[in-house]
Each structure stands twice: as structure tokens, then as C-alpha cells.
Amino acid sequence: MTLLITPVTMILWLIGGQVAKWARRYCVPTFAILAGLVRYLRDPKRNEHASKILVLIPLIGILSMGYGINSRLGKYLKKEWLIRLIYAIMISIPLWIYAFITPTVPLLNMVYVTAGLAGAFQIHAGKLGTVGTFDILIEDLVRSFVFGVSLTWLLL
């Protein structure tokens, strides 16, 4: 199951970027929570840890905000690089809370996660190709990969 977290997250992220916004907004966080619950079902100390995964629920609201110049953040911040930086930090907050309340997750890992997300959201690399009407954007591949690896790392 752990090996599937990154590719499934990437697929949902990519679909939600261009085809169906609900896939990124609702399916990515729901998948993260389900992956965490599966991980805890295998954990012998699951009674102590199972409810901790629920701190990922705010990802639904955060991923619904968007990070473009016309997003909610864009109305206040006006600079695209700043919007994307704040968005990456906001995505990191539930992950930080989860790491803080879960003793098996080194907090230093979360510094790398936040830095990786902040860097990934600054990338503007263009189109890699097209599949039907779906553009394969390099920046979406990088962002979804970094987020998927972050979830995988967190839920190991």
C-alpha cells in the first residue's frame, strides 16, 4: 500500500488540475486519510494512533483554495510567487501537526517536506505533451510528485 501512495496521489492531482477540480480538492485528501487509516490498521499500537490521521482533513479546504493569481489568496497577496509560497506552507501545516503528534516522524523531515513543496510550487516549466485534451504539465508532475512523496514519507 505504501508504494502506491505517490503514484495514486500524482494521478489524482493531475486529473484535478485540468479535468475535474474535485479530484484534487477532495480525492487527494480523502486518499491521504484512507492511506493513513490502512497504515494504522497494520499498526500494533493502533488504539494510540488511529485518530491522529484525522488532522489531514483540513487539506480538503486548503486544496480547494487554489494558488493562481485569481485565487482567494491572490486577491490579497497580488504576487504570484508569494501566493504559491503561502499555499505550499498552508499545505504543510496539517502535515506538520501530524508529524508533531506522531513520535515516529522526525520533525526534521518536515523541514524537507515544506522546503520541497515551497520549491515545487515556484516551478513554471511548461507542457511536456498532450494526451487527448489533457496537457501534461511539468510543474504539475513535480508538485504532485513532491506532495505524494511527502505523504508516503509521513505515513511510513
Whole-prediction pTM: 0.86
The owner of cell 526534521 is 108
pLDDT score recorded for residue 39: 76
The predicted structure's pLDDT at residue 4: 87
Residue with cell 510543474: 139
Match 493569481 to its residue by C-alpha cell: 69
- Residue 49: predicted pLDDT: 59
Residue 119's identity, in one-letter code, is G
Measuring CA to CA, how many Å separate 147 from each of 44, 48, 151?
A: 27, 26, 6
Cell of 61: 479546504
pLDDT of residue 106: 81
**Residue 149: predicted pLDDT:** 92
Domain ranges of the chain: 2-155
Q: Which grid coordinates are listed for 101?
A: 503528534
pLDDT score for 153: 85
What parts of the chain have a pLDDT lower than 50?
A: none
Q: How many residues does the chain have?
A: 156
